[in-house]
């Protein structure tokens, strides 16, 4: 017996608590796209969108996802000028995406002059969970929502190389020490003290341990738990493997300034070889067959949702 006004005020939360099927797939607004060179990118985009939509319909009918709205949107960055919502997936071009959002927002003249620390610690961009319920709900319904993903194993190996194979004042003492203490027999005092030198096999033991000595981290958390692609209906699904053309097509879609192009540079450790399928193969050799299978199982949903070939 609720009044219409009460229903309206409660709708954002109740809508998310009760939703198990994604809302209808809206057609992308392509009125701002100029020139015919985007035909193939657009066709790929439509296939990805409908694939994810069909997957969610099938998956969600079997498994209900109940999560609080504010948690659902905690990884989504907001750019109000061009009405963009971007869900951050670490190790899938997110640093350069944040640079682009800063330029779109008028916070910087060029993506090339923004340092890594400014991107990640500068607090220049707002996240969707910082708005009130009405603000969240309105933006979810009216802004163009984008997610960029990457082959799960490549993303995992890339995260390991970045955080554990280079000096790091957070990951070594926090994660490294705990991992070495629990999974390395006869660890020497130096390793226990610094947490440096974690091996990939030890990192995977930590990842697969239901009693992890330290919690999860966004750099290796599953995309299904970072961005909730079956509850939030993303308008655009980019892939790291086709990052540049996907990103530049997306910028056309949202009416970005013509001179703004997605940056090509590698954010950190630029002299390192990029984490490719071949690099991943070398790391996976360190694992037993069972560990490899369990790691795949851990990212199973991400493989399925985004139609990645199992390794």
User: What's the pTM?
Assistant: 0.88
Which residues lie closer than 8 Å to 302 by C-beta, 6 or more apart? 149, 152, 222, 223, 224, 308
CB 198 within 8 A of CB 205: no
- Inter-CA distances, 73 with 1, 140, 165, 174, 255, Å: 30, 9, 31, 26, 24
Domain ranges (residues) in the chain: 38-152+221-275
Q: Is 297 exposed, middle or buried (0-12, 13-18, 19+ CB in 10 A)?
A: exposed
CA-based nearest residue to 146, from 249, 67, 71, 221: 249
The two tokens of residue 305 are: 């949702």
pLDDT in 10s for each residue of the chain, 311 residues: 444 444 444 444 444 444 444 556 778 888 888 878 899 999 999 999 999 999 988 886 545 555 678 888 999 999 999 999 999 999 999 999 999 999 999 888 788 778 777 777 677 899 999 999 999 999 999 999 999 999 999 999 999 999 999 999 999 999 999 999 999 999 999 999 999 999 999 999 999 999 999 999 999 999 999 999 988 999 999 999 999 999 999 999 999 999 999 988 766 666 678 889 999 999 999 999 999 999 999 999 999 999 999 88
Cα 62 to Cα 66: distance, rounded to the nearest angstrom: 13
Beta bridge partners of 145: 85
CB 212 within 8 A of CB 206: yes
Residue-wise burial string across 201-218, b where 16 or more C-beta atoms lie within 10 A, e elsewhere: ebbbbbbeeeeeeeeeee
- Strands annotated E in the chain: 76-79, 84-87, 126-127, 144-149, 236-239
């Amino acid at each position: 017996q609720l009044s219409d006004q009460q229903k309206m005020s409660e709708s954002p939360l109740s809508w998310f608590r009760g939703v198990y099927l994604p809302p209808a797939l809206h057609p992308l607004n392509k009125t701002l796209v100029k020139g015919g060179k985007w035909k193939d990118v657009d066709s790929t985009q439509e296939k990805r969108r409908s694939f994810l939509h069909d997957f969610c319909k099938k998956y969600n009918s079997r498994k209900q996802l109940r999560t609080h709205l504010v948690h659902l949107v905690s990884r989504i960055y907001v750019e109000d000028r061009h009405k963009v919502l971007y869900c951050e997936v670490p190790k899938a071009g997110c640093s350069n995406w944040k640079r682009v959002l800063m330029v779109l927002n008028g916070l910087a003249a060029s993506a090339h002059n923004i340092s890594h620390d400014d991107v990640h610690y500068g607090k220049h961009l707002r996240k969707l969970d910082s708005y009130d319920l009405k603000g969240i709900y309105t933006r979810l319904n009216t802004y163009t929502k984008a997610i960029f993903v990457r082959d799960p194993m490549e993303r995992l190996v890339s995260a390991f190389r970045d955080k554990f194979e280079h000096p790091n004042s957070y990951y070594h003492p926090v994660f490294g020490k705990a991992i070495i203490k629990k999974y390395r027999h006869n660890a020497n005092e130096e390793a226990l003290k610094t947490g440096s030198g974690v091996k990939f096999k030890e990192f995977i033991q930590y990842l697969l341990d239901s009693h992890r000595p330290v919690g999860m981290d966004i750099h290796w958390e599953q995309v299904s738990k970072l961005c909730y692609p079956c509850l939030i209906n993303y308008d655009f699904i980019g892939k790291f493997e086709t990052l540049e053309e996907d990103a530049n097509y997306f910028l056309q879609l949202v009416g970005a300034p013509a001179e703004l192009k997605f940056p090509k540079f590698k954010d950190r450790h630029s002299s390192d070889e990029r984490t490719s399928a071949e690099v991943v193969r070398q790391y996976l050799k360190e694992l037993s067959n069972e560990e490899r299978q369990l790691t795949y199982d851990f990212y199973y949903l991400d493989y399925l949702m985004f139609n990645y070939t199992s390794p």
